[in-house]
Amino acid sequence: MNGRLAVAALLGALILLGAAGPARAQGSTTAFELDALDARAFAMGGTLVALPQDETAMRWNPALMVFLPGRGVTAGYSTPAAGLGAGHGAVAAAMPLGGALPNLPPGAPVWHSAAGVLLMTTGLDLVGGSRWSETQLGAGYAIAALPFLGVGGSARLLSNSTGAAGAAVSGFALDVGLGVMATRSLQAGLVLRNILSTVKWKDLDLSESLPNVVVMGAALDLGRSKGEAGLVLSGSQSAYGYAGAEHALLDGALKLRAGARAYFGQEPRGAPTAGVGLVRGAFRVDLAGSFDAATALGTTTALSLGYRFP
């Protein structure tokens, strides 16, 4: 239990450090800010940093990869229903190194690791017939020094990207995360995004940093019912809370999900989300929608396919 208390203190210190850090440039690119890899997270408020214990952890919290039960892959796509010529595509794969994390008593020494890769693309039609496109590739690694604690990081590279008037863009970003399994039912996660980052506009001889982002969340896993709530704080002075839940029916083959985001600031608003998941053997299919009438994107839909290798 002392180990868990020490971890909780570390989590609190990192949260305060990230939240108190100086604001950085908001950036003129959408690089590294893609909203969803998997429709499950999309349906549960758009962000998950405590629940994912599969390959989607590569996007949300790389530390959670240490709790992977096996190898897996997920591919996803999201686009506005309004048909604005925008879309996000992504694929992630991850695997434990040396088998699944041993079920050891708290405090027992253990060494376990996992690794993953991530490919994401985004495209947006601009006024005048030009198109914005980005491609980024990421790699992550996580270790567990205690049976209930994972620590991980990921590096993402932006390349072969074009913006307005064909301006070439490149860059990199580093994230670090913690994942804590306090009990079999209670989980927590913390991610510091863009702790080191830069975006370079080659044709304009301009470079800028991305805003630091702190994401913290807590989850409750009751077997057939799961839920997570959390807070996202950005160095660009934006913040929002998220919450979502899912419930499994038909022996886990059908999963119903719902959630919401609550944006803070001068113009607070809420954005509900919902979705459904189907599981058959090692395969899963997830559908989701986000409904935010206050933005030009409006209703956005997401689809993802996953497979767990035997």
Which residue type is seen at 166? G
The pair of three-digit structure tokens given for residue 237, joined into one six-digit string: 């002075």
**Contact criterion met (CB below 8 Å) for 104 and 147:** yes
Q: Which residues are paired to 90 by β-bridges?
A: 76, 120
| pLDDT given for residue 37 in this prediction | 77
**Contact criterion met (CB below 8 Å) for 46 and 273:** yes
Give per-residue pLDDT as tens, 41-91: 999 998 899 998 889 999 999 999 998 888 999 999 988 876 667 788 999
We report the CATH number of the domain holding residue 67 as 2.40.160.60
Q: How many residues does the chain have?
A: 310
| pLDDT given for residue 152 in this prediction | 96
Number of domain units in the chain: 1
Give per-residue pLDDT as tens, 101-159: 655 555 455 668 999 999 988 887 777 677 778 888 999 999 987 888 999 999 999 87
For residues 304 and 94, give the distance between their C-alpha atoms in angstroms, rounded to a whole number. 16
Residue 168: which pLDDT band, with cuts at 50, 70 and 90? Answer: confident
Q: Most confidently modeled of 92-101, 131-140, 169-178, 260-269?
A: 169-178
| pLDDT given for residue 177 in this prediction | 96
Q: Is the model's pLDDT at 230 over the cut of 60? A: yes
The pair of three-digit structure tokens given for residue 273, joined into one six-digit string: 């989300």
For residues 155 and 43, give the distance between their C-alpha atoms in angstroms, rounded to a whole number. 26
Closest CA to 289 of 68, 65, 11, 36: 36
Which H or E run includes 19?
helix 2-20
- More confident position, 28 or 256: 256
Closest CA to 188 of 40, 2, 1, 12: 12
| pLDDT given for residue 86 in this prediction | 78
For residues 102 and 288, give the distance between their C-alpha atoms in angstroms, rounded to a whole number. 34
Q: Which residues are paired to 240 by β-bridges?
A: 232, 263
For residues 32 and 46, give the distance between their C-alpha atoms in angstroms, rounded to a whole number. 15
For residues 120 and 81, give the distance between their C-alpha atoms in angstroms, rounded to a whole number. 20
Which H or E run includes 15?
helix 2-20
Which residue type is seen at 99? G
Give per-residue pLDDT as tens, 171-223: 899 999 999 998 889 999 999 998 988 888 777 778 888 888 999 999 999 99
| pLDDT given for residue 11 in this prediction | 47
Residues spanned by the domain of 274: 2-308
Task: Please name the residues in contact with 226: beta carbons below 8 A apart, sequence gap of 6 or more.
Answer: 51, 219, 220, 245, 246
